[in-house]
Structure 1
């Protein structure tokens, strides 16, 4: 189904309007969203995405609607996985909690711009070269394999290559000045960590797009569906971050589920490529008679895998332990950063930290061994206890 210019224009204006509304009424003034605020707006954005999908199904037909929902669910799941990396980057930069909204909104806007460029480039390549289906399928299969292996920390930390280049080329400071991107230090105009964290997130967004765009093209080649499913999966991601912040570390099996989904879509792409084959060295350039995977089956597999992996993560004892580890890490950092004269607040934080450490001690040995191998975490805990001991010795 061809989509009119008017439908394109109204959709783009609507998405831009939602982003502008988000910035003006929520992000411009720095604050930490309450759980109720995050839940309300997350539900609203998901409701808008579902309503749009129903409209697509009514106006464009069942096939088009199913393709939209399959793409939306896949991209939403990949976006949640991206939140893990955003969390790591913002933690490494020690971004103030109240300013994290602005960083997240920047990441969403940059990601939407980057992915839109990749979408139109991918559509042009697919319409011109049928062999690109093989390439996209191979990218997804390699990505699925990589998700099953431990990730290197460099690409997911605040000290990745993009930030190192920025630090080398421009004068920077280690101190925040509110949410300003530049500040004056020793009479010179310098970059703040706020700008550097946005650079880091922008760089990782480009890498995310290289995985996400082939995935959705494996479900539909309709450019309008690809664009809208991608855009609506990103809208509301900021609110979702604050809503599931306490659960992010608990989704320990989500990576395996996403690997299975990407591998499945990769196989689907290869089968489609064989069916449309015109590569001379494969079957003499003739089409290969293979069974293709329907969009309905794809949607069922995607939903099934996500439900199984999320439920398994929530029931997992290691998943619950990961939540406690994240809380202990956060409280240790907070304790070391709180000013010394705020003694009651420091004692409250230290009490929470001790409670979390006691909970970790009740875990089976195999889990405690994993925790002891996390050198940064253990170093943070030792520092917090050392500072607490010095404080009480001085008193």
Structure 2
């Protein structure tokens, strides 16, 4: 069901789902009351969707005395990025004639001993990404983090994924954790036509995470329609769902030019549970980044929220990447190959592709013994980034491309034992 408006309601003693839904004349979409009686914290709240049974003024009156946030449920979120190449033919050919990369059923097998990830410094599973992975020092990072993200769940809140793709067999969380908020069911399957809209976006994003952290598990959550748009209610619900279902990292390769209170509350609630949230900066080549990434530099969520832009293989700002003071880090986001719907492989370009590189890097760290608190990880990732401001490089964007380009080896060297 599509709601006209959503309201975030701070909980009080005695509140129930039924009492609040009746007061607002709507439906409770997310209920977060864990531990509230003990601490009465600001992150103890619920999200309600409603149609014009009550006006915004009526909602405020019905819930007088609370800091209620009411907003229109707009389609303001977009995945962004674009597909740049599609590989046809057999998967074995994609792998340069070597044994099929999907053999055995999952990307995780790349790290399982039957297919070497690295051979002489070359990335074997998808050799088209070799330059990108050298750029972020992935080989060394995977040596430093031998568990390769095992035991870590990364929620991909996106356009869904191709659930039948061989790359994801054995690499997904249990089906009870899946949700299609856009379609209103529990099957977050990509929908659309190859080359149009966002079809394949979420599959690419999930595939990038698994190339970085092959033993992590992906929790697929669909909030974007085939055209790449998503509404406030679905994104806010998905973030809360991901936390409640056990995600330790949330990847948001999506954004909005508007700062949604409901989504901001959801991110703040997630990060208060020490869930790490990664958000892409947007692809309009403007001097401001999209939300929720724009909140990464300040506010309650800042410690566990990371904003990510894009650079090219020479560490120059990608022509499409947004930039600004709120941007914390950049990664290589151009022509990144990963699985595509219908059992294929494709490359995409966008800040959406750089974000999952950082999400995968956080999963690598969480799969090992940490020597820093979880709340230090996103900050450490930014602080250990490689310098991209030397000489004339990026001179026009000084201080607006974060602290530099993702360096996974340096990051892990600072954060794991």
| TM-score, normalised by the number of residues in structure 1 | 0.29
Larger radius of gyration between Structure 1 and Structure 2? 1
Structure having the larger proportion of residues in strand: 2
| TM-score, normalised by the number of residues in structure 2 | 0.28
Structure having the larger proportion of residues in helix: 1
Query: Looking at both structures, which has the greater relative contact order when contacts are Cα pairs under 8 Å and sequence separation is at least 6?
Result: 1
